[in-house]
Amino acid sequence: MTHCHSSAPSVPLNGGRIALVGNPNVGKSILFHRLTGQYVTVSNYPGTTVEVAQGAARAIAGAVVIDTPGIVAFPPRSEDEAVTARVLLRDPLQSVLQVGDAKNLRRTLHLTVQLAEMRVPQALALNMMDEARARGLNPDCSRLAGLLGIPVACTVATSGAGMDSLIDAVKHAAISKVVLAYPPAIEEFLASAEPLLPEARISARALGLLWLAGDQQADAWLREKAPVENLSQLEALRAALTGRLEEPAYLVIQRVREAFVNRLAAEVMDVSRAAGPTFGMRLGHLTTHPVWGVPILAAILYGLYWFIGVFGAGTLVGLLENGLFGRVINPWVVEQVQRLIPLRFFSDLLVGEYGLWTMGATYAFALLLPVVITFFLAFGALEDSGYLPRMAVLTNRLFSLIGLNGQAVLPMVLGLGCVTMATMTTRILNSRRERLLVTILLALAVPCSAQLGVVMGMLAGVSFGAALIWGGVILAVLLLVGWLSARLMPGKRAPLVVELPPLRLPVAGNVLVKTAARLEWYIKEAVPLFMAGTLLLFVLDKLNLLPGLIHATEPVITGWLGLPPQAASAFLLGLIRRDFAATGLFHMQSHGLLSPLQVVVSIVTITLFIPCIASIFMIVKERGLRMAAGMVVFIFPFALLVGGLLMRVLRLFGWS
Amino acid sequence: MKLHSMKKDERARPLSGGAAMGLDAAPAGSLVRILAFGDLPPASLQHLQAYGLLPGREVKVLARRPLTIILVEQTELALERSVASQVLVEGVQNPV
C-alpha cells in the first residue's frame, strides 16, 4: 500500500528538483500523479511552448517533481523531445528518476546508459511489471541495481504496487558506476574535446557524446556557452574523427551501447516461458488486420456517433434544453428580470430574442455543454486505450492519396475534439509541408466536437442515411481538396513509422481528470465568445441592422442554398463560431422549421466553414498571416458552393 | 551456404537460402535478424535505431499488411513498405 514513511529522510532533500524521464508509453504520467498528488501546475517549460507538469512530491519533503515529455532516445527528434534534453542540460536537477518499461528492458537500458554517462544522481523505476510477467519476463530489480550501481524499484503504476520502494529509490538516487569504453578513435576525440567544453550540469563526456551524435540542444547550448575558438577546435576534431570512422559516429556509439545493454539484459532477465499472446495482444492484432480492422474501426466510429450524437445531443440535450431550461429555469429567470428591470432595452439584453441569458447562456449550457462533455469523455477513453496509432496504420493508404501519412490521422481526430487545439498539434508532424496540408484540411473539412455533437443530433433526428450523406460529402471534399493541394505543394511525402502501444482498458479516474481539464478550457474559451456573439446580434438587432444584413444574405441563403430566411442569422453567427450556427439550426429544426433536405444542406455548408475566430488566430500564429488570409478567402465561398450544389443533386434524387 | 546447419536444426533454417532481403519481404510470423540498412534518410534511420533496430537484433514479423508490423523486444512498430524494404534482414526462423 502507498502509505508513506518519510519521517526519517536519509538525505536532505530541501528544494531539490527531480526530473521524471522515460520513453513514451511507459506510465510516466501515472507515476507522476502518484508521486505528487493533486498539487500540480501545468505550464509551458521556460523558453519553449511545450507544456510540462510540476508538483511537490508527497512523500519527500521539499522536493519538486518535473514530468518531462517522453523521449525515444537522445538526440531528440521532435519539439517535445527537445524539452527533455533541455531539462537535463539546463535545469538545476538534484536527481533523475527514469521510468522504464520492464518488458522492453533493452530499450529502457539504452536510456539508462545515456543518463549514467551524464553522471547525475539517478534512480530507475522498472514499471509495468505486470505486463512483463504476463509475457513470461521476470527482470531481477535488485540484481540490476547492483550491476548499475543505482537504486532500482519494480513498480506497477496503474495499481500502485512498489511505490514504497520507489520513494526509497528516489531518496537514494546515486551516480552510476557504469562507464562504457568506446573505440579508440572516439575515446581520443573525447579526451581532446572534454577540456574544450564549458562547465555543464551533465558530465563533459556525456555532453561530448551528445554533440558528436548531432544533438541540437547540446549544440545550441555549446554555441551559447563556449568561446568561439573552442567551438572551431571542436568542429575540427569532429571532422577529423568522421574521416577516421567507416560508419556515422552515432551508429558506432549505438553499437557499443547495444553490446553492453544486451549483456546486462541477459544477466538480469529471467524468461520463464515463451508466453502465448495475451488477449490484449490478439485484439491489438485484429485492430490492424487488413480485413477485420475495418469493421472494428466502423464499430468504434458508430459507437462514438451513438454516445455523442444520440445520447449526448439527443437524450441529454432534450432533458436540459426542453426540460430544465425550457420549463424551469428560463421562465423563472425571464419573470424575475422583467420584474426587476422595467426598461425594455435592458431586459431584452438579458432575456429577449437575442438575450445574453435566453440565447447565449442557454445555447452554451443547455445545448452545447452535454455534447462537449460526452465528446471529451469518449475521446479521452479512446486516447488512453492505445487505439489511435492503430488508426494511423489503417488509414495510411487513404492519407497517402493526399500526400500525407497515417500520422496525420492524429491531428485530424484531435480536430474532431477541437480544431484550434489540433492546429497546434500539427507540430508532431515531421515537415512544414505536412503541417500546412493538415492545417488546411482541419480548417475546411474537420468538424469539431462543439459542432459535431449538434450535427449528429440533427442527423439522428432525420435518418442514418442523412448522416451517411453528410459524412460522404465531407470526406469527398477532404480527399479532393487534399489531393489537389498535395499536388500543388512542393516537397516529398514522409513515410510512416509508428509505435503501436498495447491496447489497455482506460482508467476511469484518468479520463475524468482529463475531461475536467478540457472542460475548464472550453468554458473559459467558448462561453465568452458565445456571449460576445449574442451581444453582437443584439446590437445589430436594436440598431435595426440585422434585418438588412439578413436581407442582404437572403439571395445566397434562400436562393442558392434553398433555406428559410431565418437561417441567415444562424449563418451570420457561423462567421464567429460555426457551432453557433449549428446550434441555431438545431433550434430551428427542433421547432419544425427545416425539412430533412434543408437540414443536410445547411449542416454540410456550416461544417465546411472555418471553425471559429480562435482557430483563425491559431492558424495565424502557427502558419502566418498570409496563409490564414488565403484560407479564409477560399473556405467561405467554397463552403457555400458545395452546399448549393449538394441541394441541387439531392433534389435530382427526389429529396424535397 | 548454410546447408549443413539445416540438418543440425530443422527449425533454424534460413528462409530464402540465408540471403539478405528487405524486411517487407519477410513472411508474417517469422523471426529475422537485422543485417544492415539501405538508403534511408538520417532522421528515419535514427528513429528506427532508437527503438532498438540495430544490426544483430532479432525481431519478429507480426504482419505484412496493411503495413509491415514487427515486434522489437515487446514493442510493436509499424513501418511503411518504403522504409521496411530498406531494412536488410536474414531469416532466423520460419513462421510457426
Strand A51-56 relative to strand B87-93, pairing? unpaired
A175-193: per-residue pLDDT in tens?
998 999 999 999 999 999 9
Q: Which residues of B touch A501 (CB under 8 A)?
A: 76
**CA atoms lying within 13 Å on the CB side of residue A523:** 12
Mean pLDDT of A41-58: 72
Q: Which of A121, A149, A171 is the last residue of a domain?
A: A171
A232-264: per-residue pLDDT in tens?
999 999 999 998 988 888 889 988 999 999 999
Residue A498 three-state SS: strand
Q: A412 with A502, same domain?
A: yes
Question: Is the CB of A107 less than 8 angstroms away from the CB of B43?
Answer: no
Question: Is the CB of A254 less than 8 angstroms away from the CB of B67?
Answer: no
Q: A157 with A266, same domain?
A: no
Question: Is the CB of A496 less than 8 angstroms away from the CB of B80?
Answer: yes
Name the DSSP class of A74.
S
Answer whether A390's CB lies under 8 Å from A284's CB. yes
Q: How far is A273 from chain B (nearest CA, A)?
A: 15
Mean pLDDT of A408-428: 77
A522-559: per-residue pLDDT in tens?
787 667 877 887 888 788 888 888 778 878 888 888 88
Q: A448 with A583, same domain?
A: yes
Which of B33, B58, B69, B74 should one mutate to test binding to chain A, selecting the residue with the greatest count of A CBs within 10 A? B74
Q: How far is A494 from chain B (nearest CA, A)?
A: 9
Answer whether A122's CB lies under 8 Å from A115's CB. yes
The reported pLDDT for the residue numbered A366 is 82
* Residue A537 forms part of a structural domain: yes
Return the C-alpha cell found at A361.
447562456
| Helix or strand run (H / E) with residue A257 | helix A249-268
Q: A150 with A191, same domain?
A: no
Q: A240 with A308, same domain?
A: no
Total domain count, chain A: 3
The percent of chain A in helix, strand and coil, each rounded to the nearest 5, is 65, 10, 25
List, in order, residues 6 or more apart from A95 with CB less than 8 Å away: A16, A18, A19, A120, A121, A122, A123, A170, A173
The answer, for A649 touching chain B at a CB cutoff of 8 Å, is: no
Name the DSSP class of A213.
T
Q: A190 with A165, same domain?
A: no
Nearest to A413 by CA among A564, A495, A292, A304: A304
Per the structure, the complete domain to which residue A71 belongs is given by: 17-171
List, in order, residues 6 or more apart from A582 with CB less than 8 Å away: A451, A454, A455, A458, A574, A603, A606
Question: Is the CB of B76 less than 8 angstroms away from the CB of A499?
Answer: yes
Answer whether A147's CB lies under 8 Å from A123's CB. no
Mean pLDDT of B24-42: 90
- Number of Cβ within a 10 Å radius of residue A561: 22
Return the C-alpha cell found at A210.
551528445
> How big is the A-B interface in CB pairs under 8 Å?
98
Distance CA B65, CA B80 (A): 10
Strand A40-44 relative to strand A51-56, pairing? antiparallel
Helix A432-445 × helix A625-652 angle, to 10°: 40
The answer, for A216 touching chain B at a CB cutoff of 8 Å, is: no
The reported pLDDT for the residue numbered A11 is 41
Question: Is the CB of B43 less than 8 angstroms away from the CB of A430?
Answer: yes
Strand A269-271 relative to strand B68-72, pairing? unpaired
Distance CA A98, CA A491 (A): 38
Question: Is the CB of A288 less than 8 angstroms away from the CB of B69?
Answer: yes
Question: Is the CB of A107 less than 8 angstroms away from the CB of B77?
Answer: no
Question: Is the CB of A255 less than 8 angstroms away from the CB of B54?
Answer: yes
Distance CA A165, CA A162 (A): 5
Q: How far is B5 from chain A (nearest CA, A)?
A: 24
Q: A327 with A381, same domain?
A: yes
Question: Is the CB of A72 less than 8 angstroms away from the CB of B48?
Answer: no
Distance CA A387, CA A538 (A): 45
Domain CATH number, residue A235? 1.10.287.1770
Question: Is the CB of B51 less than 8 angstroms away from the CB of A107?
Answer: yes
Question: Is the CB of B80 less than 8 angstroms away from the CB of A290?
Answer: no
Question: Is the CB of B78 less than 8 angstroms away from the CB of A284?
Answer: no
Distance CA A203, CA A194 (A): 9
Which of A288, A400, A407 should one mutate to test binding to chain B, selecting the residue with the greatest count of B CBs within 10 A? A288
Q: How far is B91 from chain A (nearest CA, A)?
A: 20
Global confidence as pTM: 0.75
A69-109: per-residue pLDDT in tens?
888 777 777 777 888 888 888 888 899 999 999 999 999 99
Q: A512 with A573, same domain?
A: yes
Least confident of A61-65, A102-106, A147-151: A61-65
Q: Is the pLDDT at A12 greater than 50, yes or no?
A: no
* Residue A97 forms part of a structural domain: yes
Q: Which of A241, A271, A301 is the last residue of a domain?
A: A271
| Helix or strand run (H / E) with residue A258 | helix A249-268
Q: Which of A117, A137, A171 is the last residue of a domain?
A: A171
Q: Which residues of A touch B66 (CB under 8 A)?
A: 288, 290, 293, 393-394, 396-397
Question: Least CA distance to B73: which residue of chain A?
Answer: A104
B2-13: per-residue pLDDT in tens?
334 333 333 444
Would you tell me which residues 233-272 of chain A have a C-beta closer than 8 angstroms to some C-beta of chain B? 248, 250-251, 254-255, 258
| Confidence tier at B18 by pLDDT (50, 70, 90) | low
Distance CA B94, CA B31 (A): 7
Domain CATH number, residue A88? 3.40.50.300
Q: Is the pLDDT at A647 greater than 80, yes or no?
A: yes
Q: A310 with A348, same domain?
A: yes
Least confident of A14-23, A434-443, B30-39: A14-23
The answer, for A137 touching chain B at a CB cutoff of 8 Å, is: yes
List C-alpha distances in Å: A246 to A185, A250, A621. Answer: 11, 11, 44
Name the residue type at position A66: I
Return the C-alpha cell found at B53.
533496430
List, in order, residues 6 or more apart from A400 with CB less than 8 Å away: A493
Q: A475 with A544, same domain?
A: yes
| Helix or strand run (H / E) with residue A388 | helix A388-401
Instruction: Give the one of A73, A392, A497 whose C-beta lies nearest to B44's C-beta.
Output: A497
Strand A269-271 relative to strand B21-22, pairing? unpaired
Answer whether A204's CB lies under 8 Å from A241's CB. no
Per-domain residue ranges of chain B = 3-93
List, in order, residues 6 or more apart from A282 with CB less than 8 Å away: none
| Confidence tier at A40 by pLDDT (50, 70, 90) | low
Distance CA A314, CA A590 (A): 11
* Residue A2 forms part of a structural domain: no
Q: Name the residue with higher pLDDT: A423 or A480.
A: A480
Distance CA A447, CA A608 (A): 8
A331-365: per-residue pLDDT in tens?
999 888 888 888 888 888 888 888 888 888 887 88
Answer whether A253's CB lies under 8 Å from A187's CB. no
Which of A263, A286, A400, A500 should one mutate to test binding to chain B, selecting the residue with the greatest count of B CBs within 10 A? A500
List, in order, residues 6 or more apart from A406 with CB less than 8 Å away: A391, A392, A393, A394, A395, A396, A399, A496, A498
Q: How far is A649 from chain B (nearest CA, A)?
A: 35
Nearest to A443 by CA among A636, A599, A304: A636
Q: A27 with A134, same domain?
A: yes
Q: A489 with A429, same domain?
A: yes
Question: Is the CB of B74 less than 8 angstroms away from the CB of A135?
Answer: yes
Distance CA B80, CA A473 (A): 29
Q: Which residues of A touch B24 (CB under 8 A)?
A: none
Q: Which residues of A touch B77 (CB under 8 A)?
A: 497-500
List C-alpha distances in Å: A171 to A8, A21, A66, A150, A541. Answer: 11, 16, 15, 11, 66
Return the C-alpha cell found at A518.
478540457
Specify the CATH number of the domain B3-93. 2.30.30.90
